[in-house]
Amino acid sequence: MSVAYDPQNIFAKILRGEIPCHKVFEDDVALAFMDIMPRADGHTLVIPKTPARGLLDMPADALGPFMLRVQKVAAAVKAATQAEGLTIQQFNESAGGQVVFHLHVHILPRWDGVALRPHTGQMADGEVLKAYAAKIAAALSETTSR
């Protein structure tokens, strides 16, 4: 049985502007912002404006446009952090590792031989996240103006 979308989840609150975030990108389809407990430098989240709990309840017609935003933000994250690669993660339900129940895609910059940091529950320095957000946003406007 599928579980209903809860509009009180933290990412819905971020979408409504009730909770702040370090914003990287926003349009009518998606919002991208820095993960507050980054597992890699430049760890970015992309969420759809459509209220979906996970991948499986995302309406088919909204999925394609959303994934195009994920691709676009991923390219900017890679360029801004000069990463050698990217790990893209998306979790569904507690058993699948999901903690926040609004569909989100993790974009994790990667470098050879550098492991992801464990989830410690430790929040990153706001100034550091702000600087990454600005750098990625700048790379985004560069890649889209080309």
The nearer residue to ligand AMP, 57 or 143, going by C-beta atoms, is: 57
Coil, helix or strand at residue 30: strand
Indicate the residue type of 38: P
Q: How far is the CB of 90 from ligand AMP (least distance, A)?
A: 7
Active site residue 22: no
The nearer residue to ligand AMP, 100 or 138, going by C-beta atoms, is: 100
* Cα end-to-end span (Å), the chain: 46
Per annotation, catalytic residue among 22, 102, 104, 106 = 104
Q: Is the separation of the CB atoms in 52 and 5 below 8 Å?
A: yes
> Which 8-state DSSP code applies to residue 44?
E
**Residues lying near ligand AMP in the complex (CB under 6 A):** 10, 19, 21, 35-37, 45, 91, 97-100, 104
The nearer residue to ligand AMP, 10 or 138, going by C-beta atoms, is: 10
Q: Is the separation of the CB atoms in 65 and 29 below 8 Å?
A: yes
Catalytic residues: 104
